[in-house]
């Protein structure tokens, strides 16, 4: 009757970026090919605690496991000495429905799979010679997006902008210690890079479309629930390629959906991230990747972790 609980230390001991990246890549491609089951996420709000929570379930067809994941963000936690974000992932057997394990990953698997998805699609949609990246955001996900992309293509110049300049300085210093040429910069400098990554909890566009004047590719990972918005809708009107990790989710609560509702693009203008990862895409102007996070990636990552545990 004992359901094993793997804590973060045990998970960290077996997880490698390659393990996560391969699992996420496979899941995104499976999702693009209709070989996944991903019900619409559930959201709960805790306004008194400045908290929100979403629940995502997923199954890659043919996989032995499916997962139900709870991810929370409670923004008063830091004042209690706790991390804002947390999470638990429940792994179940897809043949019997029995619970197999609990991954008490404190939200790290979500952070890593988001980093993996972002790095994979940014790398796939950014011309190989581009090494300059602008980053809007200074949190954990901003750091991971840079680090995981750097692992795929060494970056030459990273400009970090955040609402709090000291946070941008601090993240830049941290990245430099990791051997990445990163410096804090203005919003104009960061958004003006040829490759831009947004990883914020913004609820209105971070900059006008004109600020992205030199962009060949933009990846947005922050819009994970209704009400969030990072990119200006006009940018979607200018894009030659719009890649979404899940068409329905991105329409519902991604930046793509914001742009469609504003009439800047059409609901059928997107292609799937998985198809881009599988087939590549002929370059012709600006590309945008809108990531909302899919349950099938959680399921694939959980299976990979379980298969790696001794």
Closest separation in Å from C-beta 91 to a second copy: 10
Contact call for residue 5 and a second copy (CB under 8 A): yes
What Å distances lie between residue 108 and 12, 35, 175, 198, 202, CA to CA?
9, 25, 19, 19, 21
Q: In this structure, how many other beta carbons lie within 10 angstroms of the beta carbon of residue 144?
A: 21
- For the chain, helix, strand, coil in percent to 5 are 40, 25, 35
Contact call for residue 102 and a second copy (CB under 8 A): yes
Site mask for a second copy (CB under 8 A), range 22-61, x = bound: ---------------x-xxxxxxxx--x-x-x-x-x-x--
What is the Cα–Cα distance from 53 to 45, expressed in whole angstroms? 6
Choose between 75 and 156: whose C-beta lies nearer to a second copy: 75
Contact call for residue 136 and a second copy (CB under 8 A): no
Q: In this structure, how many other beta carbons lie within 10 angstroms of the beta carbon of residue 223?
A: 28
What is the Cα–Cα distance from 68 to 241, expressed in whole angstroms? 32
Nearest 5°: the CA angle 228, 148, 259 is: 25
What is the Cα–Cα distance from 133 to 249, expressed in whole angstroms? 27
Closest separation in Å from C-beta 203 to a second copy: 19
Contact call for residue 177 and a second copy (CB under 8 A): no
What is the Cα–Cα distance from 230 to 211, expressed in whole angstroms? 13
Choose between 201 and 281: whose C-beta lies nearer to a second copy: 201
Burial (CB count within 10 angstroms: exposed 0-12, middle 13-18, buried 19+), residue 81: exposed
Closest separation in Å from C-beta 35 to a second copy: 13
Which of 34, 97, 263, 285 forms a contact with a second copy (CB under 8 A)?
A: 97
Contact call for residue 79 and a second copy (CB under 8 A): no
What is the Cα–Cα distance from 153 to 119, expressed in whole angstroms? 9
Stretch that binds a second copy, among 64-72, 137-145, 237-245, 266-274 (CB under 8 A): 64-72
Closest separation in Å from C-beta 61 to a second copy: 9
What is the Cα–Cα distance from 222 to 127, expressed in whole angstroms? 23
Which of 20, 60, 68, 218 forms a contact with a second copy (CB under 8 A)?
A: 68
Closest separation in Å from C-beta 239 to a second copy: 32
Choose between 4 and 127: whose C-beta lies nearer to a second copy: 4
Site residues for a second copy per CB under 8 A: 1-3, 5, 7-9, 37, 39-46, 49, 51, 53, 55, 57, 59, 66, 68, 70, 72-74, 77, 80, 82, 86, 88, 90, 92, 94-99, 102, 104, 106
């Amino acid at each position: 009757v004992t359901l094993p609980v793997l804590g973060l230390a045990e998970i960290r001991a077996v997880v490698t970026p390659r393990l996560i990246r391969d699992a996420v890549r496979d899941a995104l491609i499976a999702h693009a090919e209709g070989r996944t089951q991903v019900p619409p996420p559930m959201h709960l709000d805790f306004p008194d605690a400045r908290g929100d929570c979403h629940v995502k379930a997923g199954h890659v067809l043919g996989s032995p496991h499916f997962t139900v994941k709870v991810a929370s963000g409670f923004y008063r936690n830091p004042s209690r000495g706790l991390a804002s974000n947390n999470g638990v992932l429940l792994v179940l057997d897809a043949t019997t429905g029995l619970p197999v394990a609990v991954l008490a990953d404190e939200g790290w698997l979500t952070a890593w799979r988001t980093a993996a998805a972002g790095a994979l699609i940014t790398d796939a949609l950014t011309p190989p010679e581009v090494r300059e990246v602008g980053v809007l955001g200074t949190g954990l996900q901003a750091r991971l997006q840079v680090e995981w992309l750097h692992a795929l293509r060494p970056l030459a110049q990273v400009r970090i902008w955040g609402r709090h300049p000291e946070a941008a300085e601090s993240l830049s210093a941290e990245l430099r210690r990791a051997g990445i040429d990163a410096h804090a910069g203005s919003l104009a400098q960061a958004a003006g890079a040829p490759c831009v990554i947004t990883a914020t909890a913004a609820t209105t566009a971070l900059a006008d479309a004109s600020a992205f004047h030199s962009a060949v590719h933009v990846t947005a990972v922050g819009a994970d629930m209704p009400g969030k918005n990072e990119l200006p809708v006009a940018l979607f009107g200018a894009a030659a390629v719009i890649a979404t990790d899940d068409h329905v989710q991105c329409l519902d609560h991604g930046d793509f959906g914001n742009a469609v509702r504003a009439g800047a693009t059409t609901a059928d203008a997107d292609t799937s991230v998985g198809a881009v990862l599988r087939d590549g895409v002929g370059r012709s102007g600006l590309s945008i990747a809108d990531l909302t996070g899919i349950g099938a990636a959680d399921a694939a990552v959980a299976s990979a972790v379980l298969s790696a545990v001794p």
